[in-house]
Structures are given as structure tokens and as C-alpha cells.
Chains A and B, each alone.
Chain A
Amino acid sequence: MLFNSFQYWIFFLIVVVLFYSTPFRIGKIILLCASYIFYMWWDPRFIALIITSTVVDYFLGIWLEIASGRRKKFLLGISLLVNLGILGFFKYYDFFAGSLASLLHIPESSIVLQIILPLGVSFYTFASLSYTIDVYWGKMKAVRNFIDYALFISFFPHLINGPIIRAGQFLPQIQSWRRPTAIMVQSGIILVLSGLVKKMIFADRFAVVSDMYFNHPTAHPGWLAAWTGCIAFAMQVFFDFSGYTDIARGCARLLGFEFPLNFLRPLLSRNPREFWQKWHMTLSSWVRDYVFIPLGGSRRGSLVLYRNLMIAMVLVGFWHGASWTFILFGVYQGMLLIGYRFFEQATAGTMISRIMKKRYFVPISVTLLFMSFVIGMPFIRGQNLQVSGYVLSGLFGFQHVTGEFLLTAGTLALFFISLVLAVAQERTQFIDRLALQPARIQIPAYVCVFLALELFPATGPVPFIYFQF
């Protein structure tokens, strides 16, 4: 069931009606059942994985709380083994097996199992891991109510595409759930509508251009084609994922739960560090808290910092997909972060640093950051290293052809509309404030959104791009 399908909204309406027509202790069970049905709609077999991960971590959490010393470490090890084992086997086995086969020059078919990637496995295993690690660190108490814990892991708005929820953020909301206020319902509806507009109008229209380019990159040689194809994909990825997050947050809010923010206009960032503070925030903060800081963070000198940054970003890249291109994406992002730190240190106190802080230089910083993000797109969208390499050679003009301008008038218009809306939102938060506006503003806004969704969506429900991650 896709968030942008009619099926989902019928399902959601039924869930809302059932949830609010029963006391919360029953409502929780209804939400849990609905979440499992939501997941099984895609493939019922893989529900066993979620249940296994849930049961194991639920009991491990309780035991971790009372255990100490080596036993505690052992229990955490089991949790890591189970969760990373599930993730590793289903997501990464074929990648490692394939790489090994090509290294040993043996036929791939002899060891590759062609495993189907279970939907959302990267999201719910990270959510589950954060719980056991937090209990291990004593940051939170183990949850005793199994339904509460199972709902935290499988709550359908975040189950298959995030944002990555932490136990500390969600479990207290279950334990002290309150009916959402009218203003929360209003803002939830606005979030859902904003997500649908992002996905169905912006992402899916940019997808037409990026698919045209990336499905047959050799048919579109030249730097102009490469840049326009990559820009279209960059815009698609952003609108697709942030649209999904908005819908997920909106649905959760309509049910009385609050999800953390996942995107904060990252494409207006001025440097790579700021970008990763605003892009897929729940993943970057997860990696920061559970990988970067435990490795020593920035406390042990520059070299260790650079190493940690690189490890964290390679992990971010590898989390997105089991392929060398994703690892290279992580390496590339790590290099950008390290390069920016170098640059920052080298220019500290100089005129360059002062100019870069000036307001008139901001558009240049934003443009440079956006271009650096676009350069990373071949790693994410390219099906393999050859394709990524070909697109990169196109981006840097090594093909010695100009190529064609792939962005249509419609996508160019969308680009500028999104820029204007992002700038307006950055300055005034007009979308967030819409819920507080009087009817004379809200009703025309609803009409505009409904008309846009009626008239400008790309044809048919297109799956969300992050499903593959």
C-alpha cells in the first residue's frame, strides 16, 4: 500500500475510525494489527522478521536492564547479532557473495541467493537497535508492555520508509498518549497534503526526466544531458523522501503521535556539515549517536575525527544500498565533509572566511553545495559502477559533447516554484503556520492544494524511491 494510493487512504480512514472509537488500550492493539496488515499487504512472509526482531529485542531489553558486566555485553551482542544479522543477510548477503565470486573468479550463481529485500528492513532494524543500545547505556528503562514495544517497532506510518524513530522519542508518547488537539489535527492534515504535493507533483515529474536519462544514459551523452539528468534526480530524491516523511508525520499526528523532523530544507544548506544536519536527520543523528560519538567523535584530534567522519559517511552510504556505488557515495560525502573541515581550518580568520560569511556570498555557497550534491547522484542512481562512471564522465565534460537539455518547461517551472516556496518557508514558516490561520486563508489554501493534486500529478501511483533502501 503506497501512501499516494487510494487504497492506503481507505485503510487509514478505517484505522482512524476504529482507533478513536475504542479506549486507547484497545486502540494500541488496533494500531499494531493495522501495522502488521499494512506490512503484510506487500509480502506476508516477511512479517516473521519484524516479529522476530521485536520479540528478541523486547526480552533482551528487560534482561539488559537487570544484567551487568560481561553478561550485559553478551546480551547487547545478541541484539546486535540478530538485528545486524537480519539486515546483513537480507540486504547485504548477495552483495558480499557477488563481490567474493568476482574476486575468486567463480560463477556468481553458485553463491548468490537472489534474496528479496524485505521492505523497510533498514529502518526497523535501526529503530530496534537504538532501543537495546539505549537500555544498555542506561539512557532509558526497558519497556515492560509488549504491545507498546511492538507498536514502536512496527507503527505503520514509519515502518517501511522512516523516519527512523528512537524508543526514547516514541515509547513515552504511547505511555502518556493524549487525544490530539484540533490544531494538531489541522497541522497533521496540512503535513499530509504537503507530502502528497511533494511526491505526486514534484518528485514524480522530476522522475520522468531522471528516468529518461538514467535508464539509458548512453543514449544521452554530453555534459548538459548529464547535469540536467542528475539535477532532476537530485530534486526527485529530495521531494520523494521528504514528501514521504511529511505524510508519515502527518498520519502519526492524526493518530496523536509526534515523529521527529527528517528534512529541513537541506538543499538551501551552505556547506556539507549543515547539509547533513538537515538531510535525513534521523539517520544522520542515529549514525552520530551510535557510531560517530562512540568511535571518539571529534574529541581525539583531527586524524581520528577524519577517520570517524569517513566511517560514519561510508556507513550512511552503505545503509542506502548494498552496492559499491553506495559505498562510493558514502566515501564521496565523507570526503566533502573532511574537505570542508580542512578548508574551514585553513581559511579561519582570513579574508576568504569573512567573505564567505557575508550575506551576498550565501547564494554562491548554496549553489556550490547543491552542485556537490548533484555530483553525488550518479552513485545513488547508477545501476552499477560502469553507469556511475559514465555519468560522472558526462558531468565533467570528458565526453566532449554538449548533449541535450533534458529538463522540460514543466520541470523547470517546478524547480523555480520549489525554490520560491523553500525560500518563503525558510523565512516565514508559512506552511507550519497555516494551521493557525483563519478560515479565509485556510480554505483557499486547501482548494489550491486539491486542485494541484487533481490537475498536476504524474500518471498513476509511483513507488517511493526510498523503498529500495
Chain B
Amino acid sequence: MSLAICLCVVGVIAIVYIALYFSSKGTPPTESPADPVVSARPVHVGRNLLLGAVAFVALDGIIFHTRLYPSILAPDSYAGRLAVITQAEKKRASSGRKEVLVLGDSRIAEGFSTAVADEVGSASGLKFVSLAEPASTIVIWHYILREVDPTAQRYSAIVVPYGIGYEPDTAGDLRISMAAPLLRYGDCFRFASAFQPWSDWFRAFTACILRGSAYQSDLLNLLQHPIGRLGSIQLEAARLRSRAAYEGRDSDIAGTSYDPKTHKVSFPPNLTEAQKQLISQSLNPRPESEREHFVKLQRGWIQLIFDRYSNSSTAIVLTPVPRSPFGELAGSSVTGDPAFPNALTKRAAFSLPEQTFNFLEKPEYYFDGYHLNAKGRRRFTERLVAELVGRLQSGDAQSRLTSVHNYLPTSGGQERYH
């Protein structure tokens, strides 16, 4: 090892020496040669610049808008994982049963098990597919649906979670790069509209046109570890299988208590400092502006999903997710927001009441401040599937067409579910 380092150092010194040796012909200049003012041949500034720009956009398109680069994205990155699972889902042959697609962020990725769901729902002829991905939002789910279900006829039902997410607004860069494999040139204005600070809006807009800009860190990583990347890509299939076999985490935070009045939280002795920190973090109230933006985003993009499936037999199912190990925290409820249900009045859909999973909002079902553990995962899945089966099997077309507005609880928390 030390010999290799010595050889490297010698090599570096040799390169530097040779380079500098070649730079040193004659007396060093202290004045730059005058810049050219006239040219012997005609100069086409605009033409060359324009052609350069066109060639650049075309090259970016060939490399990054086709499957060329997305196929070598780091499979363990957000963008890479999303590219892999959407491609796998696109290629997956139909099961012949009624397929239910479950979307969501990490709370659903940790909380929903397709294995358990299939076990519970198989008798009803349902097959569950999960494309829940950590850090994804309603914006990304919209593009996932466009990618995996281009005809809007593939699934019997699509489960879309609602409620306040926990990724901060500052995660703009992450979301842009994550969505990049699913974006098209025509998405620039709509996709950019989902981002709040002007700089994020601009980056999102650019990512749709020049998709390479969204892969900067991935490309650097590839250049630094090209062999590691190839090895990692070869392990993709195994990773997909392990994703299906994932059963959730066994640990829990039982014994943790929180007093919303005093904002005091007490921990059992078995929790690590990192766990304690994460739980405390989850209890911080979200800034009002962030919450408003989140609600606005859900309102607009759920509407887009509804519009996409407006002429389809696919049922859109809005489901709440368990909010925290300590029940409702300040600002964690979304349905009380007067803006939220108004957007949903046109499209018929199921919506599960916000209280559906309140029974899971206990520390023994969580492994941190946000995510359900294996026990919670099983119970969440069982309950969700039971709710779905009941409604999907009723076959009551009229009830399907009932406005989701009627299903949503009022701000007072009183259920108006029929």
C-alpha cells in the first residue's frame, strides 16, 4: 500500500515536472498577446453560438433524456431507485388479477407491505403493487403514474396518501433530481410550479429541458467510482427482490411519551441519542408557510391525478397515514384546511377518513418519530386492505362516484363518512 502511494506521488511529481518543463520555453511573457480584432475569414458569431447551443441541447437530450444515462444512475440514489422501480413496473407483466397500486413516501414505504396485502387481499382477487419511495411527494407520484400507466387503464385502484409530509421545503434539489428520470420537455412549467423559492423554480424548469443539470452529483459520483457504480448496477435485480421481501424494522420506541401542552418529551433508556434527536425533531411544528405550500401542492396535484383518470375505470383512493407516535401534532392535519377539500369536488373517489389509522399512533408501532415498525406495518397494511376490499368489492358504482368531498372529515374532526 505504501509502495503504491509512493509510486503515485512520484508519478504526480513527474507529471507536474514535465508539464511545467513544457510551459517554460524562452522568456516568460509578462504581457498577453493582443486579442484579435479582425479576422481573415468571415466570422459568424450568432450562427456558431446558436449551433453550439442547439448541439448542446441535442447532446443533453441524447444522453440524459433517453435511457442512456438513466440506466446507469446510482441505484441507491433517490433518482436511481425511482428510475429502477418505475422501469421494473413498466416491464412487469400483468398478474391477471385486479391490481392496486400504492403510492407514497417513506411512511408508506415503511408502513405498507405488499406481501401482507396480497395475503389479506388475495381472496378478493386483488394484487397489490407498491411504488412508495422515500422523499417522494404528490408531484413525483403524478409522474410515476404517467410513466407506469400511460393508458390510465392498468390498475383497478390507485392508493394516494394525503396529509402533511415531513420533508422540508429545502429539499428542492433532492426532489428535482429524484423526478428527473420521469420528466419530459413539456413538463417544464407545470413541474417548476411545484417549487417555491424562485431559485428552485428555475432549477426545476431547467431540469426538464437540460436534464443533465439534475444529475450533477450522480455524474460526479460516477466519475469518482466508475467500477463501484457498475458493480452496484449489476446488483439491481437482487435489490428489487429484497425490496419485495422487506418486512419492516423490529425496533420500537415504546416508553416514549410526549406532553403537547408543555412540549416535553421523555425517552426510555434503551433509545440511542440519534433516535432521541430524530423523535425530538419530528415534534417541531412545521412553519406555517411550509404547511400552506404543502396543502396547496396536494390540492393541485391530486386534482391532476383525478383529471388524468377522469375517463378511466380506475378508482383513486385517498388514504391518510398515521401522523405520529403521539397522535395529532400541531399542523399535522390537512383535511381541516378549508382549501384542501374544495379542489377535490369534481372527481369521484374513495377517501378513507383521517381517523382510520388513529389506533396506530402509539410509540410501540413506530421505530422513530415518523415511521411505522414491522408490527405497525402489518397492522397498517391489514387495515388499509380491509378498507379497500370492502369498498372495491361493493361494486356500487354510485358510491364510487360520490364526491370525495363528502367523505372528508370537517375541520372539527367530526366524520361525515357515509
Measured between beta carbons, the chain A residues less than 8 angstroms from B16 are 363, 367, 419
Q: Does A422 contact B (CB under 8 A)?
A: yes
B52 touching A423 by the CB < 8 A rule? no
Question: A264, B31: Cβ atoms under 8 Å?
Answer: yes
Against A, the Cβ 8 Å flags (1 = close, 0 = not) of B187-206 are 00000000000010010000
Q: Chain B residue with minimal CB distance to A432?
A: B35
Q: Are A446 and B49 in contact (CB under 8 A)?
A: yes
- Known contacts A451-B60, A454-B212, A455-B215: A189-B45 contact under CB 8 Å: yes
Q: How far is the CB of B321 from chain A (nearest CB, A)?
A: 31
A-B contact pairs, 18 of them (CB 8 A): A182-B39, A186-B43, A186-B48, A187-B35, A261-B31, A360-B21, A366-B20, A413-B223, A419-B20, A420-B19, A423-B19, A435-B36, A436-B39, A439-B48, A454-B56, A454-B210, A454-B212, A455-B213
B36 and A450 contact, CB distance less than 8 A: no
B93 is an interface residue with CB less than 8 A from chain A: no
Q: Residue-by-residue, is B7-43 near A (CB-CB < 8 Å gives 1, otherwise 0)?
A: 0000000011101111111001111110111110101
Q: State how many residues of chain B have any CB contact under 8 Å with chain A.
A: 47
| Interface-facing stretch out of A39-47, A93-101, A270-278 | A270-278
Q: Is A362 an interface residue (CB 8 A)?
A: yes
With A410-B223, A423-B19, A423-B22 in contact, is A450–B213 under 8 Å at CB?
Answer: no
Contact B39 A427 (CB under 8 A): no
- Would A442 and B60 count as touching, CB distance under 8 A? no
Considering the complex, give the chain B residue whose CB is closest to the CB of A187: B35
Q: In the bound complex, what is the Cα–Cα distance between A457 and B223 (angstroms)?
A: 14
> Considering the chains assembled together, what is the distance between the CA atoms of A360 and B21 in angstroms?
6
Question: Do A432 and B23 touch (CB < 8 A)?
Answer: no
Kindly state the separation between the CA atoms of A447 and B56 in the bound complex, as whole angstroms. 5
Contact of A264 among B17, B30, B202, B219 (CB under 8 A): B30
Known: A189-B49, A443-B48. A184 touches B37 (CB 8 A): yes
- Of listed B33, B56, B212, residue having the most chain A CB within 10 A: B56
A438 with B30: CB separation less than 8 A: no
Shortest distance from the beta carbon of B11 to any chain A beta carbon, whole Å: 11
A185 to B35, CA, bound (A): 11
B55 part of interface (Cβ distance < 8 Å): yes
State whether A181 and B38 are in contact (beta carbons under 8 Å apart), knowing that A447-B56, A450-B56 are contacts in the complex.
yes
When distances are taken between beta carbons in the complex, the residues of chain A under 8 Å from B199 are 460
B59 A183 Cβ-Cβ under 8 A: no
Q: Which residues of A contact B19 (CB under 8 A)?
A: 363, 419-420, 423
Nearest B-chain residue to A450, judged by Cβ: B56
Interface size class of A (residues with CB under 8 A): 35 or more
Residues of B within 8 A of A (CB): 15-17, 19-25, 28-33, 35-39, 41, 43-45, 47-49, 51-53, 55-56, 59-60, 173, 199, 202, 210, 212-213, 215-216, 219-220, 223-224
Chain B residue at minimum C-beta to C-beta distance from A264: B32
Distance between Cα atoms of A261 and B202 in the complex (Å): 34
Chain B residues near A137 (CB-CB < 8 A) = none
Q: Which B residues are CB-close (under 8 A) to A444?
A: 55
Please, which residue of chain A has its CB at the minimum distance from the CB of B218?
A455
CA distance A101 to B394 in the complex (A): 84
Name the CB-closest residue of B to A180.
B37
Q: A363 with B30: in contact, given A439-B44, A446-B53, A460-B199 (CB under 8 Å)?
A: no
Report whether B24 and A363 are in contact in the complex, using a CB–CB cutoff of 8 Å: yes
**5 cross-chain pairs, A with B, having the tightest CB-CB distances, nearest first:** A446-B52, A363-B20, A362-B24, A182-B43, A450-B56
Distance to closest chain A CB from B35 (angstroms): 5
Candidates A182, A447, A460; contact of B55 at CB < 8 Å: A447
- Residue A308 at the B interface, CB < 8 A? no
Q: Is B47 touching A268 in the complex (CB atoms < 8 A)? A: no
**Chain B residue at smallest Cβ distance from A420:** B19
Known: A359-B24, A423-B20. A450 touches B53 (CB 8 A): yes
Most chain A CB atoms below 10 A, which of B20, B210, B216:
B20
B22 contact set on A, CB distance < 8 A: 423, 427
Q: Is the CB of A409 within 8 A of B21?
A: no
| Cβ contact of A269, chosen from B28, B35, B37, B49, cutoff 8 A | B28
| Any B CB within 8 A of the CB of A456 | yes
Cβ 8 A contact of A409, one of B202, B210, B212, B224: B224
Contact call A187/B36, Cβ cutoff below 8 A = yes
- A sample of 12 more A-B contacts (CB under 8 A), given A269-B28, A419-B16, A432-B35, is A181-B43, A187-B35, A264-B29, A268-B20, A270-B28, A362-B24, A366-B24, A410-B224, A422-B23, A436-B39, A455-B216, A455-B219
Contact status B35-A363, CB under 8 Å? no
Residues of A within 8 A of B212 (CB): 451, 454-455
